[in-house]
Structure 1
Amino acid sequence: MPITDWPASERPREKLLEQGAQALSDAELLAIFLRTGVAGKTAVDLAQDLLVEFGSLRALLKADQEGFCQAKGLGLAKYAQLQAVLEMGRRHLEEGVRRGQLIQNPKDVEQYLALKMREYPFEIFGCVFLDNQHRVICFEEMFRGTINSANVHPREVLRKAMELNAAALILVHNHPSGCTEPSQADQMITQRLKQVLELIDVRILDHFIVGDRVVSMAERGMV
């Protein structure tokens, strides 16, 4: 049965307009992107097949051009369209950390940091530097490590904060393993940085750990 014959409340596009995008499944969202199905399959059927073939929505979105275009119902036009959509999403999130942007809550930059850090195969430790009104000065990747750890040097963070005349920081690092539970080392470096930065009256507002999800150490009472 074609989607046009479905009850309006079950059609992906109408459901999105009525309930919001968050109410849709991965297959329904993908079906809206696909727009049409293939012979014998609706766009939703095709979307479900593609999610099984690639393993997840994220894996499909990360697929290279060759792998993407070889899948049934896809091709160069869809690949180009997807890359444009992903880039628009990245630029939308980046607007939240542009210089001069007011950060009223560290959560305001969580999505951007997750997108920025999640795909690295090795550990990255970075800082969002803020002025005394909590406006963004810049985001800096401070240290790069191996698959297991990054050597974080408090004096370098201190030096950068002084150079930028920062008044507050949001810390972030990724766990390539996907596990986001704060380790003892994560807690130790957070407290060490907090002690060092207090010497120049710079506050740490939060420390995000990015993996399969994002964990706020401030919400855990660890900052």
Structure 2
Amino acid sequence: MNPSPPAYPAPRVQDLAVGERPQERLEKLGPGALSDSELLAMLLRSGRKGHSVLSISRQLVTEAGSLAALTRWREADFRKVGGIGRVKALQLITVMEIARRVAASDQGERPLLNRPELVFAHYRAQTAGLSVEKFWVLCLNRKNRLIRQVELTSGTATSSLAHPREVFREAVHHGATSVICVHNHPSGDPAPSAADVQVTRQLREAAKALDIALLDHVIIGQAGADPQGRGFYSFREAGVL
């Protein structure tokens, strides 16, 4: 019986030719000198038999269309690329989620959120590609600038929205004078459901009782899936608040 052929280890970053090693380029030239695929290679660390880690990284960027587009990929999308198993797919999803949150965070002056268009602009990147429904409460100061955004719930698209008690507990805790509630529709169509209308009316009554202004409840969708072409729905504009 012929012996089984030896198993060859998957090509790793350190196995590349010296001039091709992203780690050495990173150390000498800094992260700005690395291409998108080289940055991904630093995360992946190893490839698969016959394919270097750089070739897999290039394939990821090519198939997604851009590094930014990878932030919308799910585990199944990553695992379609040869050499990426469950663990690596989950690692990449984690990094992409960090990137999404950093991009959505306030890097300068607290954002002014006094119109639904501004709320939509603030959340468009954060909600892009989400397959679950999330609910946020935005705590605002007297000038309608964001003090703190708090994610109250995260679940399936059919899960119930947040209870008014939880919404206004956060408002009181952060010293907000007003709040805006926001949630997304994974389908992309921001038209409100009966449950959305009901919880908004409950929020309206709770706001009156606590003397904390409920400026709006905005549903975030996608312009392409919105019959109105806007990508969001405002209960304030609809006259519910």
1:129-140, aligned counterparts within 5 Å?
A: 129-140=139-150
1:95 has 2:103 as partner: no
Structure 1 residues 174, 102: closer, same or farther in 2, change over 3 A?
closer
1:190 has 2:208 as partner: no
Determine helix, strand or coil for the equivalent of 1:176: coil
Given that residues 118 and 174 in structure 1 are in contact (C-alpha distance below 8 angstroms), is that contact kept between their aligned partners in structure 2?
Answer: no
- Residue of structure 1 in register with 2:216 after alignment: 206
Question: How far did 1:133 drift?
Answer: 2.3
- Residue of structure 1 in register with 2:234 after alignment: 216
- Residue of structure 2 in register with 1:172 after alignment: 182
Unaligned runs of 5+ in 1: 1-52, 69-82
- Higher alpha-carbon Rg: 2
1:66-105, aligned counterparts within 5 Å?
A: 94-95=105-106, 100-105=110-115
TM-score by length of 1: 0.56
Identity %: 33
Structure 1 residues 159, 170: closer, same or farther in 2, change over 3 A?
same
Question: Which structure shows the higher helix fraction?
Answer: 1
Question: How far did 1:95 drift?
Answer: 3.5
Question: How far did 1:217 drift?
Answer: 2.2
In 1: Cα distance, 2:101 partner to 2:172 partner: 29
TM-score by length of 2: 0.53
RMSD: 3.9
Matched positions, count: 160
In 2: Cα distance, 1:218 partner to 1:110 partner: 14
Question: How far did 1:110 drift?
Answer: 1.6
AA aligned to 1:95 is D
Unaligned runs of 5+ in 2: 1-62, 82-94, 223-230
Given that residues 114 and 214 in structure 1 are in contact (C-alpha distance below 8 angstroms), is that contact kept between their aligned partners in structure 2?
Answer: no
